[in-house]
Amino acid sequence: MNIKKGDNIKIISGNDRGKTGKVIGAFPKELRITVEGVNIKKKHVRPRAQGRKGELVKMPLPFPASRAMLVCGSCGRPTRAHILPGETKKQRVCRKCGSAV
């Protein structure tokens, strides 16, 4: 998985196809990400304390990172990030314009 928190991504499949958003959470172990405004699920919250109302909370749920593509910061196109081999620090590079992302 080469998407990390803070990246801009574009959804390429599923109900939210075509949407773009910022990654707000990455779960590399599960290969899942959460993205602002994508895969929103409504959750009914029961009133916990007396006098409080139950409410409907909308929250983005994690979905498989394979449904998203990284959007390059310099050329603005969705791309597969490529990690340069042989570098000590992992440097992701845009496949299309070659700049670091």
State which of positions 4-43 bind Zn ion (CB under 5 A): none
Q: Give me the least distance between CB of 78 and Zn ion, in Å please.
A: 9
Percent helix, strand, coil in the chain, to 5, is 5, 45, 55
Neighbours of 8 (CB within 10 A): 19
Any idea what DSSP says for residue 37?
T
Query: Is the CB of residue 40 less than 8 Å from the CB of residue 26?
Result: no
Tokens of 38: 């994508």
Q: Give me the least distance between CB of 90 and Zn ion, in Å please.
A: 17
Q: Point out which span in 20-28, 45-53, 61-69, 92-100 binds Zn ion (CB under 5 A).
A: 92-100
94 binds Zn ion (CB under 5 A): yes
Judged by CB under 5 A, the residue of 1, 12, 24, 75 near Zn ion is: 75
97 binds Zn ion (CB under 5 A): yes
Q: Point out which span in 8-16, 39-47, 55-63, 90-98 binds Zn ion (CB under 5 A).
A: 90-98
Query: Is the CB of residue 69 less than 8 Å from the CB of residue 82?
Result: no
